[in-house]
């Protein structure tokens, strides 16, 4: 029994939801998202109660897994078009700088050359100062993926803690070899 998949999803005011064939479209004040769900899952909209209900056609293991996943993805779409998603990154290190120019993120993070990362359509990337990066968008997966790829350009290292990290991330520090005796 999927506990998450059985929960109905409330539709907030100002959000339009439409299901055609196997595609669900969610439209809100921040934008529009659509997603094609698997044939093992049924999605129905209850107009009177303003709820979306996901159900599955059988009780096979794969179908049960897809049931909860589908419900969570639809919930993420509704939150995305109403509130949006945001990830914050910070640069730690002497001379580490981030700048947004010409629809690309330019990073100077200790390498001989400057790293340039193009910003995908649908995302807003801003640098309030040179040590912080803010990634905003309506698609949770796209925001998280871009933030993770940016962090992967220079992961925080354990000895000095330098690198790109998520805001508030704790880096486990190690002792240097000079401390061993």
pLDDT band at 176 (very low <50, low <70, confident <90, very high): confident
Give per-residue pLDDT as tens, 95-115. Answer: 999 999 999 999 999 999 999
What is the mean pLDDT of the segment spanning 141-166?
95
pTM of the model as a whole = 0.90
What residue spans in the chain does CATH classification 3.90.930.12 cover? 3-82, 85-166
CATH assignment of 85-166, among 2.40.70.10, 3.40.50.720, 3.40.50.2000, 3.90.930.12? 3.90.930.12
Could you name the CATH architecture of 3-82? Alpha-Beta Complex (3.90)
Percent of the chain with pLDDT over 90: 90
What is the mean pLDDT of the segment spanning 31-54?
93
For residue 7, how far is the Cα from the chain centroid?
A: 22
CA distance 57 to 13: 30
Burial (CB count within 10 angstroms: exposed 0-12, middle 13-18, buried 19+), residue 134: middle
CA distance 111 to 81: 38
Q: Has residue 43 got a pLDDT over 70?
A: yes
Q: Has residue 179 got a pLDDT over 70?
A: no
Provide Rg for the chain, Cα atoms: 21
Residue 48 · residue 40 · CB < 8 Å: no
pLDDT of residue 117: 96
Q: Which phi and psi angles does 27 have, rounded to 5°?
A: -125, 130
Q: Has residue 181 got a pLDDT over 80?
A: no
Give per-residue pLDDT as tens, 5-17. Answer: 899 999 999 999 9
CA distance 65 to 157: 36
CA proximity to 83, closest of 39, 127, 138: 138
Average pLDDT value over all residues in the chain: 93
pLDDT of residue 1: 55
CA proximity to 35, closest of 61, 4, 66: 66
pLDDT of residue 103: 94
Residue 85 · residue 136 · CB < 8 Å: yes
């Amino acid at each position: 029994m999927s506990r998450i998949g059985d929960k109905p999803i409330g539709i907030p005011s100002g959000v339009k939801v439409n299901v055609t064939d196997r595609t669900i479209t969610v439209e809100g004040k921040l934008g529009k998202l659509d997603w094609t769900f698997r044939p093992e899952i049924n999605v129905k909209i209850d107009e009177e109660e303003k709820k979306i209900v996901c159900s599955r056609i059988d009780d096979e293991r794969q179908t049960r897994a897809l049931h909860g996943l589908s419900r969570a993805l639809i919930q993420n779409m509704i939150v995305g078009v109403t509130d949006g998603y945001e990830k914050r990154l910070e640069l730690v290190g002497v001379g580490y700088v981030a700048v947004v120019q010409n629809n690309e993120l330019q990073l100077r993070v200790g390498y001989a050359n400057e790293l340039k990362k193009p910003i995908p359509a649908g995302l807003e990337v801003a640098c309030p100062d040179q040590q912080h990066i803010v990634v905003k968008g309506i698609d949770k997966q796209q925001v998280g993926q871009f933030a993770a790829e940016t962090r992967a350009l220079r992961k925080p290292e354990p000895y000095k803690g330098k690198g790109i990290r998520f805001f508030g991330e704790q880096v486990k520090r190690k002792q240097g070899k000079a401390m061993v005796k």
